[in-house]
Amino acid sequence: MNILSNVDLSTANTLRLPCQAERYVAPGTLSALRAAFVQARQQGWPVTLLGGGSNVLLPERLPGLVVRPALNQWWLAEHQGQVLVYVGAGVNWHRLVMATAAHGLWGIENLALIPGSCGAAPVQNIGAYGVELADTLQAVQVMELTSGRVYWLSAEACAFGYRDSIFKGELASRVVITQLVLRLSRTPAPRLGYGDLAARTPSAPTPLAVAETVCAIRREKLPDPQELANAGSFFKNPLVTDEQVAQLLRQYPAMPHFPQGGGRAKLAAGWLIDQCGLKGMRDGAFGVHQHQALVLVHFGGGDRKGLMRIANYIADRVEARFAVRLELEPRLITP
Ligand code: EPU
């Protein structure tokens, strides 16, 4: 097994936060993955799981063993118009979206250009443009860290919610996701209800045309992590009660809000931050992106402490004005 020592993870997270892993391994098979967990247990090394690094806030030092699954195969199984896609955890999500869209398959085309690996996608139930991973996910294969046992969870068992799943709760740090099964279809099913997606997509579109429109929209608003370090949305869109919405609407009639049923509604965190006049602000190495207030960017030379300072400042300003506390969207990794 190729365990590396003192590995610099600053280029393995899209925020480019400085981080050194005491040990690092990227197993390419289930048996190599199991062997890594066995060794960690025998040596008493704490294990940290890492995917594409696009939704994590890393500390400066990670003791123990960082494990990044490199299960990079995917394949299709077609039966009576229904297509199941088996995807290894290490496959790049955006590449999978573009490849299945190019095959004429519907289901995940709205999720184009989301950075990260397929194994990380269920953890926060990635979502964009009116579609969530949960809509097409059939099952998730996991390996238990302590026993090395491999088993499957149905989509229902994953307890998906808005940017939430069992992998953030009960199963956090207990299992590693090794494979996904997605249920895609050749029957046209464009979902163009979000924002100006319909207006910008050709009539009778192909999945590839929708994916390309989504890419164009995202490129206008969201910075490319290759050019300007970021982790996508930095805060979740807050869920509030209908009474809170009604109260806020009296003062801010144009406030975007999205009823969720059950007496609750989601607010747009980007709008709240924008209203506080914080779009484009900068504090040292970090700033609020100039085209999308929900994205914090790293200009270089900063660390997690500096990032948390600006994040807290933003959350305080929003709370003081709207009495709503923003929560972090990326995962805070603790050693
Ligand atoms: N808005 C502003 N100013 C801003 C940003 C947004 O006024 O600076 C307003 C917009 O005009 C719109 C509303 O806020 O009325 C919502 O904005 P947008 O459609 O851009 O989406 P979002 O709520 O900011 C969410 C997801 C994104 C996803 C988009 C599109 C979360 C936390 N974010 O953003 O996901 O791409 O919808 O579906 O749910 C991610 O999770 O990393 C991510 C990028």
Question: What are the structural domains, with CATH classification, of the chain?
Answer: 4-67 (3.30.43.10), 74-221 (3.30.465.10), 229-332 (3.90.78.10)
- The per-residue pLDDT for 80 is 78
Whether residue 272 has pLDDT greater than 80: yes
Partners of 106 in the beta sheet? 185
195 CB burial (10 A radius; 0-12, 13-18, 19+): exposed
| Residues 6 or more apart whose Cβ sits within 8 Å of residue 334 | 59
What whole-number distance in Å separates Cα of residue 197 and Cα of residue 188? 16
Q: Which helix (H) or strand (E) holds 25?
A: strand 20-25
Indicate the top mutation candidate among 129, 248, 271 to test ligand 1's pocket, ranked by most ligand atoms within 8 A of CB: 271
What whole-number distance in Å separates Cα of residue 245 and Cα of residue 259? 9
What whole-number distance in Å separates Cα of residue 320 and Cα of residue 324? 8
pLDDT (tens digit per residue) in 282-296: 999 999 999 999 999
4 CB burial (10 A radius; 0-12, 13-18, 19+): exposed
Whether residue 79 has pLDDT greater than 90: no
Q: Give percent above pLDDT 70 in the chain.
A: 100
Nearest CA to ligand 1 atom 1: 271
Q: Give percent above pLDDT 90 in the chain.
A: 98
Residue 268 CA, ligand 1 centroid: distance in Å: 6
The backbone region for 134, taken as left when phi is positive above 0, alpha when psi lies in -120 to 50, beta otherwise, is: alpha
pLDDT (tens digit per residue) in 87-146: 999 999 999 999 999 999 999 999 999 999 999 999 999 999 999 999 999 999 999 999
Whether 233 is catalytic: yes
Whether residue 266 has pLDDT greater than 80: yes
Which tokens belong to 271?
Answer: 């709008």
- The per-residue pLDDT for 2 is 93
Rounded mean pLDDT of 60-66? 98
Question: Which of 226, 189, 224, 198 is CA-nearest to residue 129?
Answer: 198
pLDDT (tens digit per residue) in 210-244: 999 999 999 999 999 999 999 999 999 999 999 99
What's the pLDDT band for 254 if we cut at 50, 70, 90?
Answer: very high
Place of tokens 């999500």: 93
In short, whether 195's Cβ falls inside 6 Å of ligand 1 is yes
- The per-residue pLDDT for 81 is 73
DSSP-derived pairing of the beta strands 47-49 and 61-67: parallel
- The per-residue pLDDT for 335 is 80
Q: Which atom of ligand 1 is nearest to the CA of 236?
A: 32
Residue 260 CA, ligand 1 centroid: distance in Å: 16
In short, whether 236's Cβ falls inside 6 Å of ligand 1 is yes
Mean pLDDT for all residues in the chain: 97
Q: Which helix (H) or strand (E) holds 298?
A: strand 295-298
